[in-house]
Structure 1
Amino acid sequence: MDKNPDSRVPITCFPDAEALAAWLGAGGPAAVLTDMPGIASGAVATERFDARPVHRFGCGCCAGRSAAAVALDRLFQGRARGRSPWFDRVAVVAASPAAQAQVATALREDALTLARFRAG
């Protein structure tokens, strides 16, 4: 159990699925955020995101929040609304450098992400 007085959900980043499996087995209920298919056996909730832009840079539908920030929103909303089981922590397994950068930026600059999550 996390002893940090900060009530935001802690996020821990992992380089690969092997490290993730050990972490999932060693703690309480966890969610997983990933840009890879087939990850997260043992997680109570999983969200996937694609870090690649679908449209040209800066178009109206793509400007704003990153895919990682939006996926973290979906995890949080699922937990808050009872659509997914409760989780106390989130693991991130991001294979691509773009996905890793999106998660790091969301944890540093996205207001909603910062209100709900913290680096663990």
Structure 2
Amino acid sequence: MTSSRTSLIPLSILSGPCSWSQERRRHALLIGTASPEETWGDVADIPAPSPFRNRHATGCLCCSRAPVVMILAQVFQERVTGRRPFFQEVAVLTAPQEMSSLRQQLENDVLIRARYQLIS
């Protein structure tokens, strides 16, 4: 799935079992834990928050960036350099009560906005 108006990578936030077709999942990267019956093109775990979060100066990248934001930056770089299988879109699996907060974090991160297009 690509957009004709932009070269940004489509990014969806999911809160439960995915209804995407097998074909669509095969070309996508899932960030989170896949259920046993789902097959994805690639899967990346969400890292634990930094133990130093909020201990450093204001604006420190390890203190101010959420784990999902950090993994999205990492997988983008790995995609570009060929260290990760090519993916056409990304799905982030999160708890329903965290969806709004995660969307806000992603919308407010300039690097994420430069690389990914949040899909409703």
What TM-score results when the alignment is normalised by the length of structure 2? 0.75
Are 2:92 and 1:105 equivalent residues in the alignment? Answer: no
Give 1:45's match in structure 2, choosing from 42, 47, 62. 42
Counterpart for residue 86 of structure 1: 86
Where structure 2 has 5 or more consecutive residues not aligned to the other structure, the ranges are none
Counterpart for residue 116 of structure 2: 117
1:108 shift after superposition: 1.0
Counterpart for residue 31 of structure 1: 29
1:72 shift after superposition: 0.5
Q: Which amino acid aligns with 2:92?
A: V
Identity within the alignment, %? 23
Where structure 1 has 5 or more consecutive residues not aligned to the other structure, the ranges are none
Q: Could you tell me whether the CA contact under 8 Å between 1:29 and 1:44 is conserved in 2?
A: yes
Deviates more, 1:3-12 or 1:46-55: 46-55
Q: For residues 74 and 107 of structure 1, do their structure 2 counterparts lie closer, same or farther at Cα, with a shift above 3 Å needed? A: same
What TM-score results when the alignment is normalised by the length of structure 1? 0.75
Q: Which amino acid aligns with 1:13?
A: I
Give 1:59's match in structure 2, choosing from 55, 62, 67. 55
